[in-house]
């Protein structure tokens, strides 16, 4: 619930600017019309601004709907689109906390995948949110997360790395356990790493694991490229 509340707050933050632009454009157009100085050029500029920002608001609603949709029906998606959508849903919150989002290598060839829409998106947002919480908990000065998408011969790999200092080696093998809670470790919040592990391993037939780097923790999501999961 805490992750859902934070995500809704993030969407509200994303909506403020476009709503302000729409309101300003509508008010400006109304005022000029009342004063008899609204020309065709101004009318078109105001209209385009309203339409562009309305499309953005609609897109945000679609992204949030995909996040919460858990039906039994699988749909074909493009992995790169899911990754971009996850980043889009959290970037305002990251910006608010001065966390830099770095795009590393991202496979350009479109990778189709069949899954229930909300599943992978929830895993990505959970790991990204956990990384953010660890950065804030450890009071890192120059905070960043880096994501990559690599296509291998039989699988695709999504990695999310942060510079929060890493996972204590004493517990690194336990953070995906069902009993592991936020009281035990700052990397375990939201729907929880156990839930993310369950989705990746048991529903998507993949692997989810974490390694420490010189900067912090690096989470690996590996999904199989085979007929059971991919068109």
Let me know: does 71 contact 97? Beta carbons within 8 Å.
no
Q: What local confidence, expressed as pLDDT, does residue 188 receive?
A: 46
C-alpha–C-alpha distance, residues 205 and 200, integer Å: 6
- pLDDT of residue 170 exceeding 90, the answer is no
Taking a C-beta distance cutoff of 8 angstroms, is the pair 118, 67 a contact? Answer: yes
**pLDDT (average), residues 178-207:** 70
Instruction: Identify which has the larger pLDDT, 218 or 88.
Output: 218
pLDDT of residue 208: 95
Q: Three-state DSSP class for 113? A: strand
How many structural domains compose the chain? Answer: 2
Cα(187)–Cα(191) distance, rounded to whole angstroms? 12
CATH code: domain of residue 99: 3.30.565.10
Residue 24 lies in a domain: yes
Q: Tell me, what CATH number does 55's domain have?
A: 1.10.287.130
Q: What is the pLDDT of residues 51-61, one digit of tens each?
A: 888 877 777 77
Residue with tokens 């989810």, as numbered in its chain: 208
176 with 107, same domain: the answer is: yes
The answer on 79 and 46 residing in a single domain is: no
Residues 196 and 115 reside in one and the same domain: yes
């Amino acid at each position: 619930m805490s992750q859902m509340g934070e995500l809704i707050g993030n969407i509200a933050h994303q909506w403020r600017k476009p709503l302000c632009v729409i309101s300003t454009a509508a008010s400006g157009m109304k005022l000029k019309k009342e004063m008899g100085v609204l020309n065709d050029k101004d009318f078109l500029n105001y209209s385009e601004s309203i339409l562009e920002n309305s499309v953005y608001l609609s897109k945000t609603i679609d992204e949030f709907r995909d996040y919460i949709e858990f039906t039994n029906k699988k749909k074909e998606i493009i992995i790169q689109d899911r990754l971009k959508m996850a980043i889009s849903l959290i970037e305002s919150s990251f910006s608010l906390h001065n966390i830099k989002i770095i795009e590393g290598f991202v496979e350009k060839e479109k990778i189709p995948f069949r899954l229930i829409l909300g599943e992978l998106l929830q895993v990505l947002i959970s790991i990204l949110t956990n990384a953010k919480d660890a950065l804030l908990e450890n009071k890192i000065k120059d905070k960043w997360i880096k994501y990559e998408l690599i296509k291998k011969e039989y699988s695709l790999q999504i990695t999310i790395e942060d510079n929060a200092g890493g996972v204590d080696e004493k517990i690194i093998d336990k953070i995906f356990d069902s009993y592991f809670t936020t009281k035990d470790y700052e990397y375990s919040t939201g729907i929880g790493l156990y839930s993310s592990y369950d989705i990746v391993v048991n529903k998507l037939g993949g692997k989810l694991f974490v390694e420490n780097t010189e900067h912090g923790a690096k989470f690996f999501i590996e999904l199989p490229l085979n007929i059971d999961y991919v068109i």
